[in-house]
Amino acid sequence: MCIADSFLKDNMKLTKQFQLYESDHTLFIKALKEKNPGMEERQREGRALLWDKAPVGLDEQERQLNSAVKQQAYVYQNKI
């Protein structure tokens, strides 16, 4: 817990009325999760499909770097 969090926790006590408050957004998300119980798992699968990649070995990294096509500094300028 960072210093700001502990300060807020210790010094910014909310009244009972505000502790029980849930915004419209929070209620919508809760209702959506109740209607679609597998939604979070599908989100994780989609994230894994697009972002989570298998580790690449050092030999493969070197091969990728060596096989990259060199690009001139300003790509829109004609070659001289």
Give average pLDDT by consecutive 10-residue segment, the chain, 80 residues: 61 70 93 94 90 89 91 80
What's the pLDDT at 33? 93
CA atoms within 13 A on the CB side of 61: 5
Instruction: State the Cα–Cα distance between residues 72 and 77, nearest whole angstrom.
Output: 9
What's the pLDDT at 8? 57
Instruction: State the Cα–Cα distance between residues 60 and 16, nearest whole angstrom.
Output: 58
Instruction: State the Cα–Cα distance between residues 25 and 55, nearest whole angstrom.
Output: 38
What's the pLDDT at 53? 84
HEC secondary structure over 27-62: HHHHHHHHHCCCHHHHHHHHHHHHCCCCCCCHHHHH
Specify the residue for token string 């505000």. 18
What's the pLDDT at 19? 75
